[in-house]
Amino acid sequence: MTTTHEDSDGQALTGRAFHLIGVGGAGMSVLAQLLAEQGADVTGSDASSGPALEQLRAQGLKVYVGHDAAAVPEQATVVVSTAIKETNPEVAEARARGQEVIHRSQALALAARGRRMVAVAGAHGKTTTSGMLAEALTAVGQDPSFAIGGVVRALGSGAHLGTGPAFVAEADESDRSFLNYTPAVEIVTNVEPDHLDTYGTREAFESAFLDFARALVPGGLLISCTQDPGALALALAVAEEGRRVVTYGCCTPAELPGQGLVGEAHVELQIHEHLATGTRSSLVRWTSATTHEEPVELRLSAPGEHVALDAAAAWACGLELEVDEQQMARALASFGGTQRRFEDRGEAGGVRVVDDYAHHPTEIEALLRAAREVAAARGGRVLVLFQPHLFSRTQAFAERFGQALGLADVAVVTAVYPARETQEDYPQVTGRLVSEKAPGTARYVADRVEAARSLADMARPGDLLLTVGAGDVTEMGQVALARLCERAPGDSGGEVA
């Protein structure tokens, strides 16, 4: 029997038709599942096949490979992402018929109606933080709905329509679509400028986050990180407007600008020990510049200070959602990660291969610091295959990417993954811009398969080999593992050519 879920206007989604163009994308496939679970008739298309389409077909959805005007149901609301152009034949057909065409974020807001939305935003850290929160709330029995741009390993999905009041959503700032939400709680992990192809300037990027905070429902809460100057500035501005704010970071309120509390509370993260398998830390909730509650122990099974900070944000949100502080900390301790976030791909010849989605310089710095802790425990080095994502981002951050890769012992940079951009618009931009800015032994190998094999040839027992980036570099972990398996017994790896 299909359960009818209604939005706040009382309009049932059961029987309503949606056609999603680009349904194989992470965000769109999640949305398709959510709409279908609410009783909507969902169809979709994508330029190529892949695991997401196969999963949707297994769930009974009609999804097609290729874009064909005939695939669009006449009564459907057509859902697109920013990457879908008006020249797409399915969009053109919907426009000609006068059908409703909406952005993915608008459809997600529709799916979230009637629930208490928690929107997680930031240039990086969104997927881990929202995944942590969804898994922890599930563990404590709240059965949240969630829409996350990555599969939460313990939950086996990035989407779920729950029976509880909370709806956890990863909010994408890349195309301003996060401004379509009216959350009850917002988590902002950082406001570090990115997507300047959309915003143009740092000021415009930061202004969008202020607009995002102003979209909170009356009485809603902003949870913002003090480790990032942009997120701290946002917290200060929002607090000055009289809105509710809780901050978090590796400091006490006395160490913040003005030496006092920003908003109603501050969660201090105290890291006691970095381990190859995670961190041991405490969370201290300050209610004034000089008053705090008893520390709460937090043990995490994923390495890195950045992951611990994400957990602090999720813990603060759990308290807002009326979860007991000790119970929330215990639930976070079991977080097993999301796909493509420090995800093990296997081990061969004593070399551990890990894949990660990091595609911004700050993300890569945090990843490689955590990787060094893991490699040190193994007595090995950190080897990185990095694929830059977008020509515009590569051009803007080439020097910072190079500096970040300096944290690796060996780095190989491959060709830029273009995504929505074309090489013709950026003829001088290649991965070589990054390798030339990296200190030490970084080098450029345009072909990603050749790059993966060459890095594997340099690996020694005990090393940690990472494939890093938001594009198809994720497929290169298996290439590296195959190369490692091909090596003759006793071959301990070579040096950089």
Pairing of strands 278-286, 296-300: antiparallel
**d(C-alpha 225, C-alpha 152), whole Å:** 23
Continuous segment of H or E residues that includes residue 432 = helix 432-437
Residue 320: both structure tokens together: 């807002």
Cα-flanking dihedrals φ and ψ of residue 364, to 5°? -70, -40
The alpha helices in 147-228, defined as continuous H runs, are 196-199, 202-214
Half-sphere exposure of 220 (CA within 13 A, CB side): 20
**d(C-alpha 201, C-alpha 190), whole Å:** 16
Contact assessment for residue 16 and residue 36, using Cβ atoms and an 8 Å cutoff:
no
Residue 86: both structure tokens together: 């008006």
Enumerate the active-site residues: 126-127, 170
**Angular region, 207: left φ>0, alpha ψ -120 to 50, beta rest:** alpha
| Three-class secondary structure of residue 102 per DSSP | strand
Picking from 312, 19, 55, 29, the residue whose alpha carbon sits closest to that of residue 149 is 29
**d(C-alpha 396, C-alpha 483), whole Å:** 34
Contact assessment for residue 80 and residue 21, using Cβ atoms and an 8 Å cutoff:
yes
| Three-class secondary structure of residue 273 per DSSP | strand
| Residue 210, C-beta contacts closer than 8 angstroms, at least 6 positions apart | 234, 237, 238
Q: 280 forms bridges with which residues in the sheet?
A: 273, 299
| Tokens 């313990």 belong to residue | 154
Contact assessment for residue 228 and residue 189, using Cβ atoms and an 8 Å cutoff:
yes
| Tokens 């079991």 belong to residue | 334
**d(C-alpha 122, C-alpha 234), whole Å:** 12
Picking from 189, 461, 206, the residue whose alpha carbon sits closest to that of residue 347 is 461
Q: Amino acid identity, residue 7?
A: D
Degrees, nearest 5: CA angle 235-240-245: 40
Cα-flanking dihedrals φ and ψ of residue 174, to 5°? -60, -30
**d(C-alpha 144, C-alpha 415), whole Å:** 40
Q: Amino acid identity, residue 438?
A: A
